[in-house]
Amino acid sequence: MHLGLHEYFNEVDSSANLTKIERSINMRHAEETYWKHQGEEAILQEFDGLQGYLYFIDIVLDDERHIPFEIDHPDLHILYVLSDSGPVKFYDQDAHLLSKLVNHRAQYLYLPPENYHIILPPGRSTIFGFYFRASIFREGNDSKYTFLQPLLDAYRSQSPLPKCSIDFRVGPITELYIETLCRNLVAKQLHTESFILERLIQLIELSKQKIHEEYDYEDAYKNLIYKYVNIIKVYVDIYGQNFSLQEVAEKMGYSESHMSHILKRQTGIPAKQYKDRFVMERCRKELKAYGLLGDAAERCGFSSVASFSKFFKKHTGETPGEFRNR
């Protein structure tokens, strides 16, 4: 994918040349370029991985602008509009409207090789997207992703016509997943590819759930519990154990006591038990990946190796060193 910011903006040397815009999210180890035209500015972050090409655009405009982009290979794309400034529109080279995404909505697209245009509204727009190899879906393992089926069929037949999925809401869980993905990218590391694939699958699963909630789902309590537990898991992915359940509840607009009551009543499991379970999963993963207790403790949000070891032994019956040396 080639985004033609140069058709309208001039590239500048660094963010020091920009006065109106900053990065919304730091995409770690991404290639970052800066763009300016009079009072309008943009920052483009790009990360090119084997499992997917990721990009994050922060842009501020005085008027509606048409930005061209070119697709070289047919693939599936996910696009998230994370801003509040107005709808983002996509057109093919014949000026046919393909998609119109309003604020805090997302959509999957199958795009064959062609020249396209994205029309951005005045004000500040924030867009995250990536495209990935649709071959991760095999015939048979895609049956539960009915919202993607027309796009997968188009990809497998190498259709010359673009396709769009139904659009869906982007909420706090999705935004946290995106932040976790962007913050943890590492260039030229083999484990980064498996990390990107893992996060991609999580986002696809979350998309399926979002569509289910919005168009099919009616059980409000189950929906609320799903969101609460998933935000706890995402917070563990970002902060390790170093956050409070009150922060999670407030992220959803509720008190901790309210969410804990609903969760315990519906599942019989306290929220702290969910948090500890997710923290333990991360502790094991970090120990396997890095080996050093100090590194694992820090990455899992513990203030010391001693507190990390105490937590680990309490929940497993063995020390981190014994687990690592097994």
Assess contact for 54 and 181: CB atoms under 8 A: yes
pLDDT band at 17 (very low <50, low <70, confident <90, very high): very high
Residue that is written with structure tokens 């501020």 in the block? 60
Task: Measure the CA–CA gap between 71 and 48, rounded to whole angstroms.
Answer: 15
pLDDT band at 190 (very low <50, low <70, confident <90, very high): low
pLDDT band at 310 (very low <50, low <70, confident <90, very high): very high
Task: Measure the CA–CA gap between 78 and 164, rounded to whole angstroms.
Answer: 10
| pLDDT digits 0-9 by tens, 73-108 | 898 999 999 988 889 999 998 889 999 999 999 999
| pLDDT digits 0-9 by tens, 62-76 | 999 999 999 998 989
pLDDT at 255 over 90: no
Task: Measure the CA–CA gap between 269 and 262, rounded to whole angstroms.
Answer: 10
Domain spans in the chain, listed from the N-terminal domain onward: 2-171, 218-324
| Pairing status of strand 65-71 against strand 75-81 | unpaired
pLDDT band at 134 (very low <50, low <70, confident <90, very high): confident
Q: What is the pLDDT of residue 6?
A: 92
Task: Measure the CA–CA gap between 313 and 145, rounded to whole angstroms.
Answer: 40
Q: Domain 218-324: give its CATH code.
A: 1.10.10.60
**Where do runs of H (alpha helix) occur along 131-219?**
149-156, 172-183, 190-211
Q: Does domain 2-171 have CATH number 2.40.30.60?
A: no
Q: Across residues 203-210, what is the average pLDDT?
A: 89
Q: What is the pLDDT of residue 173?
A: 86
Q: What is the pLDDT of residue 258?
A: 80
Task: Measure the CA–CA gap between 313 and 326, rounded to whole angstroms.
Answer: 15
